Structure 1
Amino acid sequence: MEIRWEFIELGGKIYKDMDRLMAFKEGLTTWSKWVNSNMILILLKYFFQGISPVHTDGREWNSSVSKTCQGETTTLIGTTYPGPLPPAMLVVKQVLQTMSKPVTLLDITMLSLLRKDGHPSIYDGKKGNDCSHWCLAGPHDTWNQILYALLSNS
């Protein structure tokens, strides 16, 4: 069994490992400070894409605890997701609210949560899930349409 260590430097100290959500918040906060210091409002418009969720716990859409997106072929009906938002999305919203410069959130999270069928896991012929990728028509197409609409209205 291979052991991987993730070394993270924070405030001049090197950590062998760190809680992933804490590391995400630190990285996003560093990015937000850079944007606040370097953003040129006259020339550019800034966007931040929300969190692409995983579908690893079927209880979130009222299925069994062991159910994942593996084999899912239908979307969730409605406009609300029965489970919680990914914790990283809460971090994104917190950090963006503290920024002094305007950054538009391309919030793809909710519509992506509703597409538990949008992962390629049932089509790739491999065992297991691949929730970091979206290969079916729908999720990415919608993300692009939202971005186009935001760009068109600026």
Structure 2
Amino acid sequence: MFVGDSLSMNQWESLACMIHSWVPNSKTSFIREGVLTSLTFQEYGVTLMLYRTPYLVDLVNDKVGRVLKIDSIRNGNAWKGMDMLVFNSWHWWTHTGRNQPWDYIQDGNKLYKDMNRMIAYYKGLTTWARWINYNVNPAQTKVFFVGISPSHYVGSDWNEPSSTCSSETEPFSGTRYPGGMPLAWVVVERVLRRMKKPVYWVDITMLSEYRKDAHPSVYSGLQKGKDCSHWCLPGLPDTWNLLLYTALFG
């Protein structure tokens, strides 16, 4: 089961296509119910599931409005008992204005109109880590966390201030990415290092930073403007899945 945001969906779609290419004549069934999507390769008893929850922690409708509860994971009941859990979260923590799907952040008994997003992410990810520690049996379930997926809206990150991903046709070719590692990467490293249960960090950040050319850009047809945060299929999500496969069986 993949658990996370639209980047988790990118990776889920990639793996579904990769498996289908290996067994193109296999009978499949597809089900989508609310936040849960599943694809089953019936002859092999293999089901790929996607649970859509951008923050991992709970986002609920309350009396005061839409509340992001950074200390609560009730949705986790749907994740129990899986053979594999592949988590991802960061992309939506930076959203503001009309793209922000919550009105308040709740931490314990306190409501906040806003909060430093890096602090909120750290608190939310710590809640997720606590959930893993209490609810996952490593003998039954292998847990992975796919690291921070970079965007390429700001050309100064690769020393081309006037550029975005829309004008890029080749990967970054230097020995060190000028933009450096995002601060969210440090948050992930700190949280995972303190966990009691084993979680494999699929650290895709640096290799993905180099692929400024690998986004749908203006050609996705799914939204207005340019998309420099999601990835073309096939493409980088295929590489993420190869790393996931290596971590699982290597």
Q: Structure 2-normalised TM-score?
A: 0.55
Q: SS state of the match for residue 165, structure 2?
A: coil
Partner of 2:184: 88
> Percent identical across equivalent pairs?
53
Which of residues 143, 147, 152 is equivalent to 1:55?
A: 152
Contact 1:70 1:128 in 2 (8 A): no
Confirm whether residue 123 of structure 1 aligns to residue 230 of structure 2.
Answer: no
1:6 and 1:18 map into 2 onto residues whose CA distance is: 11
Task: State the one-letter code of the partner of 1:132.
Answer: S
Report the equivalent of 1:37: 134
Shift of 1:116: 0.4
Question: What aligned pairs does 1:1-154 form with structure 2 within 5 A after superposition?
Answer: 6-64=103-161, 66-77=162-173, 80-124=176-220, 128-153=225-250
Tell me, in whole angstroms, the C-alpha distance in 2 between the residues paired with 1:30 and 1:104.
18
1:144 is displaced (CA, Å) by 0.8
Cα distance in 1 between the residues matched to 2:235 and 2:170 = 12
| Counterpart Cα distance in 2 of 1:41 and 1:123 | 42
Matches of 1:76 and 1:49 in 2, distance apart?
A: 22
Shift of 1:67: 2.3
Unpaired runs of 5+ in structure 2?
1-96
Cα offsets for 1:21-78 (capped at 9, x unmatched): 22111110000011112221211211001011111221221112x4221221111125
Paired residues of 1:118 and 1:136 also in contact (CA < 8 A) = no
User: Is 2:166–2:228's contact at 8 Å kept on the other side of the alignment?
Assistant: no
Q: Is the 8 A contact 2:218 2:227 kept in 1?
A: no
Aligned 8 A contact 2:152 2:229 in 1: no
CA RMSD of aligned residues (A): 2.0
Which deviates more, 110-119 or 68-77? 68-77
Equivalent pairs counted in the alignment come to 151
Deviation at 1:127, TM superposition (A): 5.9
Identify the structure with bigger relative contact order (alpha carbons < 8 Å, sequence gap 6+): 1
Q: Distance in 2 between matches of 1:81 and 1:137?
A: 23
TM-score by length of 1: 0.87
